[in-house]
Amino acid sequence: MTNPTGRKVTANISLTLDGRYHGPAGPGDLAAIVPYAMTDVARGHLTRIWENATTAVLGRRNAEGFLGFWPSVADDDNADPRDRGYAKWLVDVDKVVLSTTLTEAPWDRARVVNAPTTDVITELKADGTGDILVNSSASVIKPLLAADLVDRLHLMICPEIAGGGPRLFDDGLPGSKWAVAHQEIGELGELALVYDRVR
């Protein structure tokens, strides 16, 4: 498969030790993840995910949730500079929101697309420059893993077992090999990992 633009598809998500991106009580159950989101290691990880990205891809839930939080951080002179850098990037970057229910984009510089995830990503890869970051949206990352379209995984591993809730890596994924590009452990035991797909 040729990629004339050289665009990489990167994905960022936080997981518990048992591989879950939220707990058993539903998408708002982030008790095993949130305590590790503001550490130095997590903030450095946050900076790495967007530094080469020129397009953000989000599912509807994250697009709406992020809108309620990050724009205020971008305008907050007292915010941590790393948080503010990410927030400004997210506000200013071109965003694609994958949704079957939204009719208009919840952000400026965003467009809503109701189409299969793999088709949207393949189209984005064919045009433009810079990385395409799938930002914390498991609903988007899962079909891309199933189609072997992810080139880099940014994982934040939180040292807790949620005991329930959906996992990122479902049974039936195609076999694949990954190489560690970065690893860092924080004082609370959180682990920032960057894996590159070996093709």
CATH number at residue 114: 3.40.430.10
Q: Is residue 156 part of a domain?
A: yes
On whether the CB atoms of residues 172 and 28 are closer than 8 A, the answer is: no
Helices (H), 29-152: 40-50, 60-67, 70-74, 81-92, 117-125, 138-146
Residue 2, pLDDT score: 55
Strands 110-113 and 94-98: parallel
> Would you call 192 exposed, middle or buried from its count of C-beta atoms within 10 A (0-12, 13-18, 19+)?
buried
Q: Is residue 66 part of a domain?
A: yes
Per the structure, the complete domain to which residue 191 belongs is given by 9-198
Q: Is residue 55 part of a domain?
A: yes
Q: Is residue 74 part of a domain?
A: yes
Total structural domains within the chain: 1
**Cα separation of 49 and 52, whole Å?**
8
Q: Is residue 158 part of a domain?
A: yes
In which residue ranges of the chain is pLDDT below 50? none
How large is the greatest C-alpha to C-alpha distance in the chain, in angstroms?
46
Q: Is residue 4 part of a domain?
A: no
Q: Is residue 77 part of a domain?
A: yes
- Tokens read off for 72: 């205020």
Q: Render pLDDT for 99-114 as a digit per residue (tens, 0 to 9).
A: 999 988 888 899 999 9
Kindly report whether the global pTM for this prediction surpasses the value 0.75.
Answer: yes
Q: Is residue 150 part of a domain?
A: yes
Amino acid at 93: V
